Amino acid sequence: MAEYLVDIKNERLSFFTPAGEVKALNDVSIRLKEGEVLGIVGESGSGKSVTAYSLMGLTAHPGKLLGGTLEFNGHHIETMTEKEMCKIRGNEVSIIFQDPMTSLNPVYTIGNQIMEVILLHTDKNKQQAKERAKELLELVGINEPEKRLKQYPHELSGGMRQRVMIAIALACEPKLLIADEPTTALDVTIQAQILELMMELKEKLGMAIIMITHDLGVVASMCERIAVMYAGRIIEYGTTEDIFYNPKHQYTKGLIRSIPRLDTKEHERLVPIEGTPVDLLNPPKGCPFAPRCEACMKICLREMPPVTNFGEVHYTQCWLNQKEEMEKGAAK
Amino acid sequence: MSDKLVQIEHLRQYFPAGGYGKKKKYIQAVDDVSFTIDRGETLGLVGESGCGKTTTGRTLLRLYEPTGGKFIYGDDVIFDVEKKIYADMLPYRKKMQIVFQDPYASLDPRMTIGDIVGEAIDVHKMAANKKERYDIIIEMLQRVGLNSEHANRYPHEFSGGQRQRVGIARALAVRPEFIVCDEPISALDVSIQAQVINMFEDLQAEMGLTYLFIAHDLSVVKHISNRIGVMYLGRMVELADSYTLTTRPLHPYTKSLISAIPIADPKVAKESKRIVLEGDVPSPLNPPSGCRFRTRCPYADERCASEVPEWKEVEKGHFAACHHIDKCN
């Protein structure tokens, strides 16, 4: 058994659009042990969803994997055929999509959609599958499961539908659950319900979770590890404490500074990150964040900074940290 | 001239939803909402989707015809449904403007940015000649951080944050006093949100604007508003100045709303206890009797089902509508 459940090394992925090559992922490496919760944060277009989708073999057309290895639970995803992928998808790894309004099939009943996964991946017969579906609905906190099994998605509210999505995802007790902005489309009070449910289920079933979100509040309360992505790169990676209390990259610092807080009395002016997100069709040379960075140096515009490690897990890609390291080394 | 720019009394907005005769059904989107906004103040309006906050904002501008209530703007009556007074809106459109939620859908894709901003100038005949019109457009674009070359481009050439700036420039072009901001930042990326929030604050200071700021994100609303009103299923449940509301909320719904917000600080997040509400928001087509929050409220009893709680001033400037304020505090 491998040491890591997920081991992505130097993944490079591009979308070949009519307008040109969009480098969606550049040298992305992620490691995740069993039962760990990893949060991936970043703006739209930073590559957080693409990373997770590629792990499920769901890279959409014009997208192509150009390099790197993706290892999951002993499988080499990058070499697997679609047929082989089908066996582990929904079984060992499953996904919850952002929008529960559109990710369920409107013409099949809830029961039908949950049983489909069970019938496909286990040797249970229809009756047993139905029993299991009922169990699952109870597990995700839906009352009157018997009645719900016969209902169609439009009869349920957004929060309920997301619960059904979770039930489908958990039907075969996967080792890894990918949650792609599972609460973005929901209201705060419903978001709290769903997050609570996910943590509860994680305790019960012990699966690992990759949580994709743009909400720093969500990762702060849920995740153990955080990867901050910008323009298709992981620019900082560390434990939740590292990222929130000891951020090293200018982008991470800016991101944490720019969110308004509820617990301040004085009116503080927000410190925004100036500029706009990168255009991935024409990414800048050097560090992608350089044009928006307040501490930008000459070298940042020319070359991509190497990785600087702090301790075992925490690392970042920023020239500023390289400079500090070098000065420290020189002083010694 | 009075201090209060906006005074709303018992605003009601029902939308017909099928049925006829006695069986005609209505969606009770806004029911009995009253508040005032002072000159230069920002009033925040928060609540979950479907609670009527957007409808409130739009009804004020008569984008929907109100079903009931009274709106006094400065010293003028804009509408009073009971007395059947409805003012001619055109002169008031110059004073009241709106910034819409979705900058992708609210700009006409066939118009240049200059024309979008300039349309209101034409309607109100604010420019004597083309040169003057152009100058106003450029001035507005510069105010929101765009520049003159942008005037000849089309909306699809801009990012979300820039489009929202165009939407704001459009609203500012007629030099309004009062702007309804209807979720102006929810469609934007986190790092862009802070830029736009700061811009709203700067514009308010420069031009002496009054805002009704509608959003579902309580931390953003708290940051920008002087006072905050919380809505639930068409009714206002609590109103107070923003610091008091977020630190000492009285209504059980406000309490759970605040505790449900994920805190971007892992230590605080681990220590704080969440009040997780059961169930979903009921349908506004058939809202619960009495207090509308009672189906999800941990303190609800028989009285909540039979009597609509009174909207009263509990402390100075702190309003709430709940039968059990003493019990849950």
Residue B290's CB is within 10 A of a number of other CB atoms, namely 17
Question: Residue A159 corresponds to which tokens in the numbers above?
Answer: 């929060």
Bigger pLDDT: B268 or B179? Answer: B179
Cβ–Cβ contact A188 with B under 8 A:
yes
Beta bridge partners of B236: B231
A125's CB contacts (< 8 A; 6+ apart) are none
Residue A107's CB is within 10 A of a number of other CB atoms, namely 7
Residue A186's CB is within 10 A of a number of other CB atoms, namely 24
Tens digits of residue pLDDT in A265-287: 777 788 888 888 888 888 888 89
Whether the predicted pLDDT of B7 surpasses 90: yes
Mean pLDDT in residue range B191-211: 91
DSSP output for A24-53 = EEEEEEEEE-TT-EEEEE--TTSSHHHHHH
Tens digits of residue pLDDT in B166-176: 999 999 999 99
DSSP output for B180-210 = EEESTTTTS-HHHHHHHHHHHHHHHHHHT-E
Which chain B residues touch A259 with a CB distance below 8 Å? 190, 194, 219, 264
Alpha-carbon distance A263 to A244, whole Å?
16
Alpha-carbon distance A68 to A65, whole Å?
8
Which chain B residues touch A274 with a CB distance below 8 Å? 195
Alpha-carbon distance B252 to B255, whole Å?
5
Question: Residue A227 corresponds to which tokens in the numbers above?
Answer: 């990867």
Alpha-carbon A56 to chain mean position: 12
Bigger pLDDT: B15 or A186? Answer: B15
DSSP output for B246-277 = HHS--SHHHHHHHHHSPPS-HHHHHHSPP-PP
Which chain B residues touch A142 with a CB distance below 8 Å? none
Beta bridge partners of B231: B236
pTM for the model: 0.85
Alpha-carbon distance B42 to A287, whole Å?
40
Interface test with chain B among A99, A186, A187, A252, by most B beta carbons within 10 Å: A187
Residue B300's CB is within 10 A of a number of other CB atoms, namely 18
DSSP state of B21: G
Angle at B316 between CA B310 and CA B319, to 5 degrees: 30
Which chain B residues touch A260 with a CB distance below 8 Å? 194, 197, 219-220, 222-223
Which pLDDT does position B2 carry in this prediction?
A: 55
Q: By CA distance, what is A267's nearest residue in B?
A: B223
Cβ–Cβ contact B193 with A under 8 A:
yes
Q: Are B29 and B52 in contact (CB under 8 A)?
A: yes
Alpha-carbon distance A238 to A225, whole Å?
6
Tens digits of residue pLDDT in B97-144: 999 988 888 899 999 999 999 999 999 998 889 999 999 999 999 989
Cα separation of the two ends of chain B? 40
Interface test with chain B among A194, A270, A280, by most B beta carbons within 10 Å: A270
- Burial classification of residue A265, based on how many CB atoms lie within 10 Å of its CB (0-12 exposed, 13-18 middle, 19 or more buried): exposed
Which pLDDT does position A210 carry in this prediction?
A: 94
Q: Which helix (H) or strand (E) holds A164?
A: helix A158-170
Which pLDDT does position B1 carry in this prediction?
A: 46
Q: By CA distance, what is A44's nearest residue in B?
A: B189
Give the pairing type, strands B210-214 and B178-182: parallel
Q: Of A41, A44, A47, give the one whose Cα is nearest residue A27.
A: A47
3-state DSSP assignment of residue A56 = coil
Q: By CA distance, what is A213's nearest residue in B?
A: B190
Alpha-carbon distance A98 to B274, whole Å?
23
Mean pLDDT of chain B: 90
Interface of B with A in 35-54 (CB under 8 A): 48-49
For B61, B242, B259, the CA distances from B219, given in Å and listed in that order, are: 26, 10, 12
Alpha-carbon distance B44 to A136, whole Å?
41
Alpha-carbon distance B151 to B160, whole Å?
16
Which pLDDT does position A329 carry in this prediction?
A: 66
Least Cα separation, residue B77 to chain A (angstroms)? 34
pLDDT classification of B278: cutoffs 50, 70, 90: confident
Tens digits of residue pLDDT in A51-105: 988 988 888 888 889 988 999 988 898 888 888 998 898 889 999 988 887 889 9
**Mean pLDDT lowest among A118-132, A270-284, B201-215, B233-247:** A270-284
User: How large is the ipTM?
Assistant: 0.79
Tens digits of residue pLDDT in A212-236: 998 888 898 889 999 999 999 999 9
Beta bridge partners of B313: B319
Angle at B133 between CA B132 and CA B137, to 5 degrees: 115
Which chain A residues touch B261 with a CB distance below 8 Å? 188, 217, 262
Question: Residue A266 corresponds to which tokens in the numbers above?
Answer: 């004085």
Cβ–Cβ contact B241 with A under 8 A:
no
Q: Which helix (H) or strand (E) holds B222?
A: helix B218-224
One-letter amino acid at B300 equals A
Mean pLDDT in residue range B56-64: 92
pLDDT classification of B263: cutoffs 50, 70, 90: confident
Alpha-carbon distance B130 to A245, whole Å?
55
3-state DSSP assignment of residue B318 = strand
- Radius of gyration of chain A from its Cα atoms, rounded to whole angstroms: 21
Tens digits of residue pLDDT in A101-150: 788 999 999 999 999 999 999 889 999 999 999 999 988 888 888 999 99
Cβ–Cβ contact B32 with A under 8 A:
no
Cβ–Cβ contact A274 with B under 8 A:
yes
pLDDT classification of A332: cutoffs 50, 70, 90: low
